[in-house]
Chain A
Amino acid sequence: MIELNSVTKRFGRTVALDSVTLTIQRGEFFSLLGPSGCGKSTLLRTISGFEHPDEGDIYIDGQSMEGVEANRRPTNLVFQNYAIFPHMTVGQNVGFGLRRKGLRKGEIKSQVNAALEMVSLEGLENRHAHTLSGGQRQRVALARALIMRPKVLLLDEPLSALDKKLREQMQFELRHLQRAVGITFLLVTHDQEEALTMSDRIAIMFNGRIAQLASPEEIYARPLSKQVAEFIGSMSFLRAETLSQTIDAITIRIEGLGTATLPRPAQLSAAMKKNITVGVRPELLTILFDPSETFEFETPGTITGRVYYGDMTYYEVRLNNSSQVVTVSMRNTAGRSILSEDSAVRIGWDSSSITLI
């Protein structure tokens, strides 16, 4: 659906996009995730036609976008601040694009009503734009873009202006909406949770380049680099040493945690260095409350800090015989007490808890 071939964009001396090559499938919910300034918004603006690449080509639905201006592209953009026309009503906002196409009044009216119904704003077409709440403005922006039936809907940080509750609700709704209309969605966000919850695939960008492109599960479980691992979810990084390696297995000793043999990840084809860093997700470690629980490995440690979240408690545990600290998340099930700081605990883990990066 969208193909980018070595797209490069420079602003003066800064390289905003560094030879980005990317294919987005038809009907896909695709997210561009990265910190601010990583080039994700520039990429979105380049696809929508507001910026023009210095090098490389963009194809949408097989057609080159070279020399095609934003108003003639089969894309529509939902702006970060929604860009609702303040001097128009909701209905005039949503019908703006159809009116420019020269459709008849009656036709516009029925399509506007259908679009408003789609975003659960039926009956609000005569409201003035400035009387709307933040959530309603976003729905108007969505309806205004979707009514054009674009081949690709581009969304620039669409949830960042909403409060937390509304944001979580809209994550579900956006996903449902995308399924319902079947249009390719391309979302730009700096919020890993947004990307993980809504996307079919995610491209993580740093410094104008794509660092990893995969499904949310893949990116979360097998980050290709420490940078990606740090950006997605939380992860403790531990010093480790390679003891031995074969074509399909690697044996490592993790300082303070223990020795384990792991299958070699597909992307690590070269020989492992001696001194390496491994990552471990908080939910893949367990604090052993019950002697009957069994794990492949058990390691003693001391709690040095804790953060209570209601459903979860995050513990910071210093490993005995080491200065290394890991974060362990525990579900607060009934009857399980919250451990205090300085408690001595045993951490249970498996070789599958460890991520080689």
Chain B
Amino acid sequence: MKWTLKYGLWAYVSLYLIFLYMPALLLPIFALNDSRIVAFPLQGLTWRWFALLWETEALHDALRNSLIIASITAFMSTIFGLMAARASSRYAFPMRKGMAALVMIPLVLPEIIVGVSLLVVVMQFGFDLSLWTIILGHVLICTPFCVVVMSTAFNNFDRSLEEAAFDLGATRGATFRWVSLPLVLPGVIASLLISFTISLDEFIIAFFLAGVDVTLPVYIWGLLRFPARLPSVMALGTFLLAASLLLLISAEVIRRYGARRAGTSSNGHLF
């Protein structure tokens, strides 16, 4: 009985991990496969799909657009998240709970509804679709995540630290700069990375709100209509996989450093 349970659990965990990570492992395999058809058996090793990526101008534009959008989105939604989290964790004001709920609603709204309604609004006001309209949509959906991350950061540190700084003659600005900000910095970095990642791979809103400049996911979606381009999508996917792994590892390293510096235990993990 006991060993069946034990091996049963092992089997379950193994299957779970295979299901979770096999598709991602297929990306580099087919990216290096010397065939236009994405299927087994493998035909041999090649770098030409990566070379193709290097030569495709449209891809570079899409990547640049995505990075611009993700960076500005991460910056703006983290600022909004920081302000909302600080207000709700430090001050009592009327409708505090209601306000917090309103900020969180985009988290559960279907993106397609957000996308369509934003498109209607943008059209009504007569704005042209551009990178900025995509940023608008992305900030809307990223801010709730940033609020959650920043609220945790603010609730985790003792309010008397801010009072101590203020009591020692610091202005409100200096208190924030020298005490609050350094202590929530790991949260700020986590918030930046999370919103950057969300924005980078968001498709629906970007699809609705994109003008002539498309983002990387929208570009990849466009490629799927040409089966011959599929291996280069695999190569692109491999590239993105490596980049996000690097990003996550560096985020964790920074977070652990921050936690050690703040003297708190590093038990909680961001991702």
Contacts and interface: CB of A to CB of B under 8 A. Distances in A.
Interface in B182-241: 182-183
B263 interface: yes
Contacts of B170: 71, 96-97, 100
A145 B163 CA distance: 13
A237 B196 CA distance: 71
B167 A85 contact: no
A104 interface: no
Interface of B is mostly: helix
B196 to A, nearest CB: 25
Given A79-B164, A100-B174, A85 B179 contact: yes
A258 B57 CA distance: 109
Interface in A57-88: 69-72, 75-77, 79-81, 83, 85-87
B265 to A, nearest CB: 11
A86 B167 contact: no
A77 B263 contact: no
A48 interface: yes
Interface of A is mostly: mixed
Contacts of A79: 160, 163-164
Contact of B168 (A49, A80, A100): A100
A48 B174 CA distance: 19
B211 to A, nearest CB: 45
Interface size class for chain A? 20 to 34
Nearest to B260: A130
Select the residue from B168, B183, B261, B263 with max chain A CB neighbours within 10 A. B168
A144 B163 contact: no
Given A70-B163, A96-B168, A100-B174, A83 B263 contact: no
Contact of B169 (A50, A71, A83, A129): A71
B169 A101 contact: yes
Contacts of B166: 69-71
Contacts of B171: 71, 100
B165 interface: yes
Contacts of B261: 86-87
B262 interface: yes
A155 interface: no
B91 to A, nearest CB: 14
B168 A97 contact: yes
A77 B182 contact: no
B55 interface: no
Nearest to B163: A50
A85 B174 contact: no
A128 B263 CA distance: 9
Contacts of A81: 158, 160
A204 interface: no
Contacts of A77: 163-164, 167
A72 B171 CA distance: 9
A287 to B, nearest CB: 49
Contacts of A76: 167-168
A188 interface: no
Contacts of A129: 263
Given A97-B168, A148-B169, A130 B161 contact: no
B52 to A, nearest CB: 48
A76 B262 CA distance: 24
Select the residue from B164, B166, B169 with max chain A CB neighbours within 10 A. B164
The 6 closest A-B pairs by CB, nearest first: A130-B263, A97-B168, A83-B164, A86-B263, A83-B160, A100-B170
Given A86-B261, A130-B263, 16 more contacts: A70-B163, A70-B166, A71-B166, A71-B169, A72-B169, A76-B168, A77-B164, A79-B163, A81-B158, A83-B163, A86-B263, A87-B182, A87-B262, A96-B165, A96-B168, A130-B262
Interface of B: 158, 160-161, 163-171, 174, 178-179, 182-183, 261-264
5 contacts: A86-B264, A87-B261, A96-B165, A100-B169, A129-B263
